[in-house]
Amino acid sequence: MDVDIAGSLEGEFVCDSNEALEFKLVRSVEDIGNDQASFKPEMSHQIFGDNESIFGYKGLRVKLYYSACRLTMYLGQEYEAVVDPDTFDGVEPDNILQLIQEKLQIPHVISNVDEFVKALKDDESFQPFGDKLTSFQDGNKTYEIYHCDTSNQKFLNFHERLQTFILFYIDAASYIDTDDSKWQFFVLYENYKSQSGAECHAVVGYCTVYEYYAYPDRTRPRVSQMLVLPPFQRRGLAVHLLCSIYQHYRGIDGVSDITVEDPNEEFQHLRDYVDASLCSGLDSFSLDKLRQGFSPEMATEACLKFKINKKQARRVYEILRLKETNVHDDSDFSSFRLDVKRRLNIPFQKETALIKKLKSQLEEDPQLATALGLKTPEQRFDTLDKMFTDTEKEYKKILRRMEELPLPTDTF
C-alpha cells in the first residue's frame, strides 16, 4: 500500500518534535520525576527537519536532561506504541536518540537513569571556570557572572554541552570554532544549596563574544550569541549579563567599541533598554542637547563611557529624544518625526541617485525598475512612513520599560 505519513492512520504515528521533546535542569533526584521542572524547545528544525516532526511513535516523550551545574546529559525516550514496519511498506520508525546525539555532537551522553542519578552528586564539587566578574542579588537569590576564554580546556569541554541549547532557542544558530582564540565567554550562574547543604552553581545562561581586529591596533568585540535558559527568563537577568560585558570591555583601553551580530528583535530591545538607560545620565544627552539634534559629542561620550558604537548611539539619541518630545504638540512631534525620517531615508537617497543615473534606460524599458527592485516615489513615501511608525512603537516600548523597570543600580 502507499505510505502517506500525513494520512489518517499514518498520522497517528507522527509527533510534533517540539511537543515530544522536553528538557530539565536537574538539581535533585526529585526533579527527574517532576513534570513541572520540564520546559520545551522553541524550535527543533535543526534536529528534525523543517517540518519538526518525528515518525513512528504514539505518546512519545523524548527526555533530554542536564544536571544543573556540570550539564551532565541524559537522553532517553518513552512511548505508548511504535509503528510496525510490516504495515508501512517497511518504513522504520525514526531513530530519535541516534539522530539527536549525532546532531548535538556530544561524545558521551548517559542513557541510563540510574547512572544519571549517580552523576548528580558530582554537581556539588563543580566550580565555575575563569574569572568572576560580578555578583548580584535578585530577591533572595544570588547570581554570579564569570568570564573565560579558549585557553581553558576544561571549560571548552563544558561549553560543548552548554552550546547544545542554542540549536533549540536561536534560529539558524551554529556551533563556534573554539580553536579560534578570539572567542570569549561570559557565563551566568545562580548560587544555591544542595540537599546536603553544599554550595552549588547552576547554569542560568551565557554569551559568546568575538574580538575582531579594528584598525590600526585596536579590538572591536562583537556579541555573537546570548541565551538565558527558559526557567530563568523574564527576570531581567540578561540585563546583568549584557552590562557585565560592557563593564569588562570599558576597562580595556585597546577596545574601540562593541557591536552585535545580526541582533533579533528581542536582543535589540534589550540592547536599546540598557544603552538608553546608561546614556540618559550623560551630559551630551541632556534635554537641551537632545533638542539640538544628534551630535558627534553624543557618539564620542557614549563610546568613551560604555563602548557604544556610533550607529547605536544615534538610535539611543532618538529614543531619548522621543522621551522629551510632546507627542501632542504638532510642532514638537513633527520636528522629532522629520529627524528620524532623515535617517531612515538614507537608503532611499542612494536609490534616488541610482534612478537618476539610469534615467534614460528606465525610460526605454519601464520593466527595468521592477527588475532592479526600485520603488516609485509614492512607494518610497509609504514605506518610509511605515518604517517611522514601526520605529516609534519600538521606542515607546523601550521608554515604557525604562519607566516601569529602571536599570538596576548594581549593573554599573
Helix locations, 137-286, DSSP H: 153-162, 166-169, 237-250, 265-279
Per-residue pLDDT tens digits for 64-75: 999 999 999 999
Per-residue pLDDT tens digits for 114-125: 999 999 999 999
CATH fold group of domain 11-123: Histone Acetyltransferase; domain 1 (3.90.360)
% of the chain beyond a pLDDT of 70: 91
Q: Looking at the annotation, which residues are catalytic? A: 261
User: ∠ at Cα 335 (329, 336), nearest 5°?
Assistant: 90
Domain parsing of the chain, residue ranges = 11-123, 127-262, 280-324, 342-404
Which residues are part of a known binding site for acetyl-CoA?
A: 264
11-123 and 280-324, same CATH topology: no
Mean pLDDT rounded to a whole number for the chain: 92
Kindly tell me if the per-residue pLDDT of 279 is higher than 50: yes
Q: Count CA atoms within 13 Å of residue 169 on its CB side.
A: 21
Kindly tell me if the per-residue pLDDT of 364 is higher than 80: no
Give one DSSP letter per residue of 21-77, joined into a string: EEEEEESSHHHHT-GGGEE--S--HHHHTTTTEEESEES-EEEEEEETTT--EEEEE
Per-residue pLDDT tens digits for 240-258: 999 999 999 998 999 999 9
Kindly tell me if the per-residue pLDDT of 398 is higher than 80: yes
Domain 280-324, architecture per CATH: Orthogonal Bundle (1.10)
Peptide bond connecting 231 to the previous residue in cis, omega within 30 degrees of 0: no
Question: To which CATH superfamily is domain 127-262 assigned?
Answer: Gcn5-related N-acetyltransferase (GNAT) (3.40.630.30)
Element (H, E) at 227: strand 218-228
pLDDT at 371: 55
